[in-house]
């Protein structure tokens, strides 16, 4: 029974890593071909040197004969024997290169198989991810029809109203989530702090982060650099985890890291180069002064673990 389970595990491993196994085997065969070729070349040179030495001795014996019909007959016979010995040596040497040739052809075949199988896996994975994303979109649209706006925001984005309200300078009341000032070139500081809705996984970029400084422009430039890096990672790997973004930001506060391991951004073909969008807010608590930059970074995350696992299951099936 134990061997049966081991066989099943080995079979599933081979099915899931065919391209990697083929590539590794191809590299091994290529190295074997190089080694066998070097060995065959040495042996071929040894045989050729031995034949040359033997023929030189025989020709020396012929040249030692006196001029005459006998010497001419010996020369003609020697020429025939020389050609015969050379052909025999060539056939013998060719055998040394059989295994190097087989290894070379085998490595080429394995590399071609690895590339074709890898392209097939990518196409299947892309199709599975597209189907998963389409299903998620349908579920979201249905949820919007069935749930209230507050219920939907709490379920999908972790946005929950505090139950408190804030009155602005004009006497208008707003639901309170956070005291933040939206980043806007036309912002009028006289209006005072405004409220925004952010998810529970929004990132805080402040003095707890490695690249934080008192320079507002530097902080904003660094955040946009992280956004560009996250976009490139999605384009190259197909996804980026929310924890990867936290780590790149240099976040030293490890809150919700375990929970964020399953969250991130999955590649969306329709988004072109803008896979990751950071919504950035300059945060200001009621007792905070503006000489201490603090940002709330909202990331367009989703649950990527289920999507990736589902795509892998579909690929294996």
Sequence ranges of the domains in the chain: 2-119, 176-314
Helix axis angle for 304-316 and 2-16, nearest 10°, is 100
Tokens of 306: 């289920």
pLDDT greater than 50 at residue 189 = no
* Distance from C-alpha of 112 to C-alpha of 218, rounded to nearest angstrom: 48
185 — pLDDT class (breaks 50, 70, 90): very low
pLDDT greater than 60 at residue 256 = no
Tens digits of per-residue pLDDT, 33-63? 888 888 888 888 888 888 888 888 877 877 7
CB burial string 38-62: b at 16+ within 10 A, e below = eebeeebeeeeeebeeeeeeeeeee
Tokens of 228: 């560009």
Tell me which of 1-10, 189-198, 231-240 is least confident. Answer: 189-198
Tokens of 60: 């020396």
pLDDT greater than 70 at residue 29 = yes
pLDDT greater than 80 at residue 299 = yes
Specify the higher pLDDT residue, 230 or 8: 230
pLDDT greater than 70 at residue 105 = yes
Mean pLDDT (the chain) is: 76
316 — pLDDT class (breaks 50, 70, 90): low
* Distance from C-alpha of 10 to C-alpha of 29, rounded to nearest angstrom: 22
186 — pLDDT class (breaks 50, 70, 90): very low
Average pLDDT over residues 69-93: 82
pLDDT greater than 80 at residue 209 = yes
Q: Let me know: does 133 contact 311? Beta carbons within 8 Å.
A: no
166 — pLDDT class (breaks 50, 70, 90): low
* Distance from C-alpha of 82 to C-alpha of 59, rounded to nearest angstrom: 10
Q: Let me know: does 220 contact 280? Beta carbons within 8 Å.
A: yes
Tell me which of 86-90, 159-163, 276-280 is least confident. Answer: 159-163
Global pTM reads: 0.42
Measured on CA atoms in the order 64, 67, 68, 73, is the torsion positive or negative? Answer: positive
Three-state SS string over the chain comes to CHHHHHHHHHHHHHHHCHHHHHHHHHHHHHHHHHHHHHHHHHHHHHHHHHHHHHHHHHHHHHHCCCCCHHHHHHHHHHHHHHHHHHHHHHHHHHHHCHHHHHHHHHHHHHHHHHHHHHHHHHHHHHHHHHHHHHHHHHHHHHHHHHCCHHHHHHHHHCCCCCCCEEECCCCCEEECCEEEEECCCCCCHHHCCEEECCCCCCEEECCCECCCCCCHHHHHHHHHHHHHHHHHHHHHHCEEEHHHHHHHHCECCCCCHHHHCCEEEECCHHHCCCCCCEEEEEECCCCCCCCCCCEEEEECCEEHHHHHHHHHHHHHC
Confidence (pLDDT) at 188: 43
* Distance from C-alpha of 94 to C-alpha of 104, rounded to nearest angstrom: 15
């Amino acid at each position: 029974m134990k061997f049966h389970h081991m066989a099943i595990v080995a079979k599933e491993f081979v099915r899931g890593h065919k391209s990697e196994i083929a590539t590794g085997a191809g590299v091994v065969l290529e190295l074997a071909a190089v080694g066998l070729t070097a060995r065959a070349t040495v042996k071929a040179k040894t045989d050729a040197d031995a034949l040359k030495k033997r023929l030189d001795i025989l020709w020396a014996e012929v040249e030692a004969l006196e001029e005459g019909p006998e010497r001419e007959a010996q020369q003609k016979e020697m020429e025939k024997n020389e050609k015969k010995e050379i052909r025999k040596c060539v056939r013998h040497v060719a055998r040394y290169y059989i295994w190097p040739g087989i290894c070379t052809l085998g490595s080429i075949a394995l590399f071609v198989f690895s590339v074709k199988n890898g392209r097939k896996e990518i196409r299947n994975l892309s199709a599975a991810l597209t189907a998963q994303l389409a299903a998620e979109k349908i579920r979201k649209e249905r949820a919007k029809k069935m749930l209230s706006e507050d219920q939907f925001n709490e379920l999908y984005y972790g946005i929950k109203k505090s139950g408190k309200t804030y009155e602005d300078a004009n006497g208008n009341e707003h639901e309170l989530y956070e005291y933040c000032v939206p980043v806007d070139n036309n912002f009028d500081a006289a209006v005072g702090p405004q409220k925004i809705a952010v998810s529970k996984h929004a990132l805080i970029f402040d003095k707890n982060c490695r690249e934080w400084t008192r320079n507002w422009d530097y902080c904003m430039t660094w955040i946009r650099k992280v956004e560009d890096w996250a976009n490139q990672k999605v384009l190259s790997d197909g996804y980026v985890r929310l924890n990867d973004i936290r780590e790149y930001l240099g976040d030293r506060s490890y809150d919700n890291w375990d929970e964020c391991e399953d969250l991130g951004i999955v590649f969306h073909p329709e988004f072109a180069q803008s896979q990751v969008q950071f919504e950035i807010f300059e945060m200001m608590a009621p007792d905070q002064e503006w000489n201490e930059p603090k940002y709330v970074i909202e990331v367009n995350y989703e649950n990527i673990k289920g999507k990736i696992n589902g795509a892998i299951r579909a690929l294996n099936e």
